[in-house]
Amino acid sequence: MAAIEQFTAEQLFSAYAKRELSPLDVTRAALARIERWEKRINAMYRVDAEGALEQARASEARWRAGAARSPLDGVPLTIKENIYTRGDPAPIGTRAAADAPPQAADAPPAARVREAGCVILGKTTMPDFGMLSSGLSSLHGITRNPWRLDRNPSGSSSGAAAAAVAGYAPLHIGTDIGGSVRLPATHCGLFALKPSFGRVPIYPSYMGRIAGPITRTVADGALLMDVLSRPDGRDFTSLPFHSQEYLAADIDAKSLKIGFMPWVGAGLAVHPEVAAACKDAARALERAGAAVEEIVPFLTPEMLDGMHRFFEARSYNDLMALPEAKRAAVLPFIVEWCSWRAAQFSGRDVMRAYGLVQAMREAAVAASAPYDFVISPTSPILPYEAELPAPGNDPRNALPHIAFTVPYNMSEQPAASINWGAGADGLPIGVQLVGKRFDDAGVLRFARLVEALRPAQRPWPEAGA
């Protein structure tokens, strides 16, 4: 039998059903794994060992009684720090909220996995306010990429991705408002799905903000989506619930028309190794029988800057709502990033930025409309230095690397990242897979096809290796 930490959620379901493994054994192994890795990568904000073991014992009793709550009953899982869990603070990655009180109730994603019987190991790290694609936080410190400890896991679901690579659990929940599950996935060699806006109920809700799975396999992401997509009336933006199994059918490459987008039109230049990996993935789809054609770039620098300005205005508003003493505790990079322009914005400036965001949304939908799916780089760059808050370390140009991902937050389309291969230095390179709005099941099935076509993958890293 493989080491327990190598089991997928899908395999654990089978092992529990056959009584080959118990949730208690698996949870103990997960906690031991955290103990081996955590000092090296700093992926966890809180580890609830006692609570996890108590949940595992209850799950084990349900399996013995033939009363498992779901296929994920007893499967270990982590939850990003900003997704509220009953009894835990949610400081949103910043030292300014180090004294945040415990939450009184679970947010919808946490409530759904608890109902499904998942074993919640604890909460994962994130940068200040979730507004960096980085593992750097004024509260949590530096979260490192397990593939190479001097590299950044990206963010803002940085701890979730690092924990997934290190094998803490098969399942991890992150959030994404501009790329925050997909960027860590590409830099850590994982699968992640940003669902259609409203597909996974979340609270509090905000334009473009979603919760989604980060996993090692597409099948595990689909199993988690089966649970996360269940309804919750607290999310006033949620879509009507449709019960379905997200991987109930395969997809035939020969039936597909794929748009290949090697360049989105703005942001950082695509690294040659990223470009080569994405082109290789498109060619593999073509060899499998799909019709593949290149897409004309749709994003303008003005649209991307409008998105940046809107994010800056939002975060500056949050910053100024804090007492002065708390503002001083926010990561200085974040303070300069959201203040250098936004402090002078007029109402017209903000609405002009919002108009450009809507133009970006329209352009993203129009560019993908002729195709079943679109494939592109997830990030234009390779993993950067662990200590930096952003690639380039420039607070006045902090987000040019999100150009491939952020349009689909605003267009509300489902978009996944899946690892394709590795660069010359052995670090992962993923590709982004985008579907039509509401076709989350289609994107998951397309991702499984890409997963089957990709080259052999590197073994997961081991602590001390």
Amino acid in position 464: G
Strand arrangement, sheet containing 191-194: 44-47, 119-124, 76-80, 171-176, 210-215, 191-194, 415-422, 428-435, 373-377, 257-260, 291-294
Return d(Cα 154, Cα 132) in angstroms, integer: 8
pLDDT score at 243: 81
What token pair was written down for 2?
């493989």
Name the β-bridge partners of 151: 385
H-helix segments, 42-133: 49-64, 108-115
Mark whether 180 is an active-site residue: yes
Q: Is 243 one of the annotated active-site residues of the chain?
A: no
The pLDDT score that the predictor gives to residue 463 is 83
Tell me what pLDDT residue 245 has: 85
Provide the token pair at 129: 């306010």
Cβ burial of 95 (10 Å; 0-12, 13-18, 19+) is middle
The pLDDT of residue 465: 56
- Using CA of residue 126, residue 131, residue 136, residue 141, what is the dihedral sign? negative
Mean pLDDT in order along the chain per 10 residues (465 residues): 89 97 98 98 98 98 98 98 98 98 98 98 98 97 98 98 98 98 98 98 96 98 97 97 85 98 98 98 98 98 98 98 97 98 98 98 98 98 98 97 98 98 98 98 97 98 78
Which residue in the list 22, 59, 137, 156 is annotated as catalytic?
Answer: 156
Q: What is the pLDDT of residue 119?
A: 98
* Cβ neighbours, 10 Å, residue 243: 8
Set 180, 229, 411, 417: catalytic member? 180
- What are the residues facing 46 on neighbouring strands? 123
Where is 221: in which H helix or E strand? helix 218-228
Q: Active site includes 80?
A: yes
In degrees, rounded to 5, the angle at the alpha carbon of residue 111 between the alpha carbons of residues 108 and 117 is 145
What pLDDT sits at residue 336? Answer: 98
Quote the pLDDT of residue 453: 98
CA distance 337 to 367: 31
**Catalytic one of 22, 80, 368, 411:** 80
280 within 8 A of 420, measured Cβ to Cβ: yes
